[in-house]
């Protein structure tokens, strides 16, 4: 293949014919878009992106008055053979046809079309004077391996303004990713407006200062930090994502990681241990000891929160966290101990499970599905405590996901040893704020969401995978870009493409395709890590990280 075919990322399932740079000039001032029923949104996206980059109008048309046409169709045959996100792309002398199993499939095919036009098609306005754009003569058939191809953005530790979220949705779409997991609440900030409880953002969205680097660092940014999304901001984010066939999954963390909420409403905490004074929104990293009180009033408060969340997010899944909940306050709290006795629980671990179980059932009654970190499997929940529809995000390795899948629950694999993109990308002293084990571009490329030995039935429970971008040390868009890219491109291929086993994957070929992809990222304005290492302005000399030496344990 020439530069066109091999440069596609993620790699398509099948390319028929040999794409050639001597393609037919399909795009010009006469090229029309014929959008079949259900594809009108894809046509709008084409005009807003490809049209803007090329300077071509791409008007509506049926081809009769135009010598070239881009035909967009939802095709029942493609749906049967390739699924709703599958597509067939065909470029011939008289134009381009994209047949999708659904509107999402047509949209994924349009992303491939954009890549075939070259990196200039990723800019926001024309940079060349050409009025005719070559498209290679080829046929591509493609469909994703996994239904859940996600990215977590942690907007709680460092707030990412709305425009940054919209930009990341475009970047996800360009890589055929289809889930944005928004980590909206944590000890360090509450980021979503809740009308019933306004102090969650009035007080909980702001902290007085911020730790710079790892929590052991002596450095502080003494400026206040914060921000939140209004409900209209959330509606805009969700609508923008839907136009790109991306589902936005909200996360509201309970019962741990809740100090920002307790700072806004102190009675949510264990006041018989801590007193009634409000704690500050946390300004450092790690796991806060301040957790929610196991009271009916707390449950009702979070039912209020989730009622508004359900009104804003149509996602079938709602993430409730459920991870890293210290039990010291509950052990010391007479009220918590009385609750344990009242409920007939064995101890504090089962009290955490009681929290999770309550919201699992509450969401199920409203037609939604709970998803939580793999700690929700503890305290007896795996043994019949979770509803059938509950799912697990397996972050501490594969083990939690394996246990959940074997118990009949759906799983999203996001093991920190593989796909925590806040972890450092190389050894040595140049990596900015080095966290965790080294996870190179090749390491991410060889990630497989289905661990060996899971079995056919268990593998069928793996919805897919997610790359997580935690933001303790990614304080702005530039840092986020550096940690995400180019590794997110490798992750996208690992979850979309039907690749061989990890050890058998052709990483040198992927590297060659990345050469073209870097030019696309440049056109998009992504401040990625270059293959040779960070640029001088990407380094953070003197800001302490927490590097861990050696290969990560695969558990």
Residues with a catalytic annotation lie at 186, 257, 324
Q: Contact 134/396 with Cβ under 8 angstroms?
A: no
* Span between the terminal Cα atoms of the chain, in Å: 39
| Residue 193, both tokens | 């407006």
Which residues pair with residue 148 across a beta bridge? Answer: 464
Task: Note whether 360 and 382 are within 8 A (CB).
Answer: no
For 486-543, give the DSSP string: THHHHHHHHHHS----GGG--HHHHHHHHHHHHHHHHHHT--PPPTT---GGG--TT-
Burial of 371 by CB count in 10 Å (0-12 exposed, 13-18 middle, 19+ buried)? buried
Closest Cα to residue 380, out of 407, 342, 414?
407
Number of H helices, E strands in the chain: 20, 24
Contact assessment for residue 551 and residue 427, using Cβ atoms and an 8 Å cutoff = no
Buried b or exposed e, range 91-121, using 16+ CB within 10 angstroms: beeebbbbbbbbbbbbbbbbbbbbbbbbbbb
- CA–CA distance, 23 with 118 (Å, rounded to integer): 12
Alpha carbon 107 to its chain centroid, in Å, reads: 18
| Dihedral, CA of residue 525, residue 531, residue 532 and residue 535, to nearest 10 | 20
| CB of 479 closer than 8 Å to CB of 543 | no
**Which DSSP string do the residues of 260-315 spell out, in sequence order?**
HHHHH-GGGB-HHHH-SSPPPPP-S-S--S--B---HHHHHHHHHHHHHHHHH---
Q: CA angle 360-365-367, nearest 5°?
A: 95
Contact predicate 54/114, CB 8 Å: no
Judge contact between 97 and 74, C-beta under 8 A: no
**DSSP assignments along 345-363, one per residue:** -SSHHHHHHHHHHHHHHHH
Q: Rounded to whole angstroms, how far apart are CA atoms 150 and 105?
A: 17
**Structural contact between residues 248 and 180, judged by C-beta atoms closer than 8 angstroms:** yes
**Residue labelled with tokens 């305290």:** 379
DSSP state of 107: H
């Amino acid at each position: 293949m020439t530069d066109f075919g091999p440069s596609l990322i993620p790699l398509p399932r099948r390319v028929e014919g040999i794409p050639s740079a001597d393609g037919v000039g399909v795009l010009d001032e006469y090229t029309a878009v014929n959008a079949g029923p259900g594809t009108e949104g894809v046509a709008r996206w084409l005009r807003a992106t490809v049209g803007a980059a090329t300077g071509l109008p791409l008007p509506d048309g049926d081809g009769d008055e135009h010598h070239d046409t881009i035909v967009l169709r939802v095709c029942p045959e493609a749906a049967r053979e390739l699924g709703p996100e599958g597509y067939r792309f065909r470029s011939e002398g008289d134009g381009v046809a994209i047949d999708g199993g659904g509107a999402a499939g047509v949209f994924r095919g349009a992303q491939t079309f954009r890549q075939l036009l070259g990196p200039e098609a990723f800019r926001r306005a024309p940079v060349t004077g050409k009025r005719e754009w070559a498209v290679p003569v080829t046929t591509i058939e493609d469909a994703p391996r996994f239904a859940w191809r996600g990215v977590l953005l942690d907007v709680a530790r460092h707030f990412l303004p709305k425009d940054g979220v919209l930009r990341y949705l475009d970047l996800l779409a360009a890589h055929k990713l289809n889930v944005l997991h928004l980590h909206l609440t944590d000890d360090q900030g509450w980021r979503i407006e809740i009308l019933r409880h306004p102090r969650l953002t009035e007080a909980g969205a702001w902290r007085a200062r911020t730790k710079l680097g790892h929590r052991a660092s002596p450095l502080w940014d003494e400026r206040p930090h914060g921000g939140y999304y209004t409900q209209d901001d959330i509606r805009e984010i969700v609508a923008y994502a839907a136009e790109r066939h991306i589902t936005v999954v909200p996360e509201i963390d309970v019962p741990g990681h809740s100090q920002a909420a307790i700072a806004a409403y102190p009675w949510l905490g264990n006041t018989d241990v801590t007193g009634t004074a409000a704690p500050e929104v946390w300004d450092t990293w790690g796991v806060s000891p301040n957790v929610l009180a196991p009271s009916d009033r707390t449950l009702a408060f979070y039912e209020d929160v989730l009622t508004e969340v359900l009104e804003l997010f149509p996602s079938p899944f709602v993430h409730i966290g459920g991870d890293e909940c210290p039990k010291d306050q509950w052990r010391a709290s007479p009220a918590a101990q009385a609750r344990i006795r009242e409920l007939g629980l064995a101890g504090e671990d089962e009290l955490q499970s009681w929290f999770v179980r309550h919201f699992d059932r509450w969401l199920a009654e409203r037609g939604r599905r709970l998803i939580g970190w793999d700690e929700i499997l503890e305290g007896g929940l795996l043994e019949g405590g979770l509803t059938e529809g509950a799912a697990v995000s397996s972050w501490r390795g594969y083990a939690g996901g394996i246990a959940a899948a074997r118990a009949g629950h759906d799983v999203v694999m996001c093991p920190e040893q593989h796909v925590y993109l806040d972890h450092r990308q190389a050894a040595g002293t140049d990596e900015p704020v080095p966290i965790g084990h080294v996870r190179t571009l090749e390491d991410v490329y060889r990630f497989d969401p289905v661990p060996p030995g899971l079995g056919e039935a268990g593998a069928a429970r793996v919805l897919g995978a997610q790359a997580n971008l935690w933001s303790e040390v990614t304080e702005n868009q530039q840092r986020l870009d550096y940690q995400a890219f180019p590794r997110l491109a490798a992750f996208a291929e690992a979850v979309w493409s039907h690749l061989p086993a990890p050890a058998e994957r052709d990483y040198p070929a992927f590297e060659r395709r990345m050469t073209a992809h870097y030019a696309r990222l440049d056109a998009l304005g992504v401040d990625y890590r270059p293959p040779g290492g960070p640029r001088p302005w990407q380094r953070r000399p003197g800001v302490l990280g927490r590097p861990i030496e050696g290969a990560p344990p695969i558990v």
